[in-house]
Every structure is written in structure tokens, then in C-alpha cells.
């Protein structure tokens, strides 16, 4: 019937918009950032939907020895969770050499994000230590401004719980 075709078409359009929304990201950094971001994507664990992996690819201009990762979880404009991690807390993540880089973190989604809501994850990476070579670090202390490596925001359609 025509009604059935329209419902199928509507479902297909809605499904397509959810799939394409998975990779909506924004650069929340500035022209002064140390890295240029090329892409940010997310992957949600398929069984329960409690975790999301955010992957950022870009081009780094400096040799970086250490830094800090600030993760902010937003529902609209409301902050519902924050984490602070070391840049070097993952194996083989430091030092970060100039050139192409691949950054990824596994992030727990708070229970406030129900199925079919949009979770916005902001990841800001600040640099503590630049290196001229592997033996001579230049450390930024709390009194100095910490240069930002990058900042991205990514919108994630939450897919947790039982399927319809």
C-alpha cells in the first residue's frame, strides 16, 4: 500500500540521518593549536552502548613529550561529566612525533544519555612538554600558558539498551 511505502521511506530517511550524524564533529580549537585536525569519528560498543571510542586523526607540528587530555561530556549545553587524563596513559602514545598522528580514547557514557539521545564529547589536549630532540624537554609549568595540541567536539547518537 502507499501508506506502507511512505512509512518505509520515512524509516529509511531517519535511519540514514542517524548513521550520518555519527561523524558530525567540530574543531573547537584555534589557529594557534599545535596540530591540524583532519578527521574525528566515533564508534560505540555494540553490546551495551556504555562506552564510545573517539578517534582523531591530524597532523602534528611539534615533538611532544607529555600533556593532558580534558574530556567533557555534554547533553546540549549542560555538562554531565568531566575527566582529566594524561596524554601518555596509552601504550605508544608518547612522545608524539611531528607529522601524521592517530589519537584514540575509550570513554564511558554517563547513564543520563538514554537511547536515541545525542551525546556531545569535547576532547581538549594541552601540551606540558615540548622536546627539541628526545633528550632536551622544554617544560611548561602552571605559571606558563599551556599550548593546546587540539580541541574537537563530536556528536554521538547514543545506541544503548535493547533494540526496538
- pLDDT tens-digit series, residues 100-109: 999 999 999 9
Q: Which residue has the higher pLDDT, 38 or 145?
A: 38
Rg (CA), the chain: 19
In a 3-state reduction of DSSP, which class is residue 93? coil
pTM above 0.85, yes or no: no
pLDDT mean over 137-143? 60
Per-residue confidence (pLDDT) for residue 9, from 0 to 100: 42
Of the candidates 164, 159, 152, the residue with the CA atom closest to the CA atom of residue 41: 152
Judge whether residue 140 has pLDDT over 70.
Answer: no
The more confident residue out of 121 and 161 is 121
Mean pLDDT of 138-156: 79
E strand or H helix at 3: helix 2-21
β pairing state of 148-157 and 24-27: antiparallel
Amino acid at each position: 500500500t502507499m501508506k506502507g511505502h511512505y512509512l518505509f521511506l520515512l524509516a529509511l530517511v531517519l535511519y540514514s540521518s542517524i548513521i550520518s550524524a555519527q561523524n558530525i564533529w567540530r574543531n573547537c580549537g584555534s589557529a594557534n593549536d599545535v596540530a591540524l585536525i583532519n578527521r574525528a569519528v566515533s564508534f560505540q560498543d555494540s553490546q551495551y552502548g556504555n562506552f564510545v571510542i573517539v578517534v582523531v586523526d591530524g597532523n602534528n607540528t611539534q615533538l611532544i613529550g607529555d600533556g593532558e587530555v580534558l574530556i567533557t561530556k555534554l547533553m546540549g549545553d549542560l555538562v554531565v561529566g568531566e575527566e582529566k587524563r594524561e596524554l601518555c596513559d596509552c601504550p605508544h602514545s608518547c612522545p608524539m612525533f611531528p607529522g601524521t598522528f592517530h589519537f584514540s580514547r575509550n570513554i564511558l557514557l554517563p547513564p543520563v544519555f538514554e537511547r536515541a539521545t545525542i551525546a556531545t564529547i569535547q576532547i581538549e589536549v594541552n601540551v606540558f612538554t615540548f622536546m627539541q630532540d628526545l633528550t632536551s624537554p622544554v617544560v611548561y609549568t602552571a605559571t606558563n600558558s599551556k599550548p593546546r595540541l587540539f580541541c574537537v567536539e563530536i556528536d554521538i547518537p547514543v545506541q544503548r539498551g535493547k533494540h526496538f
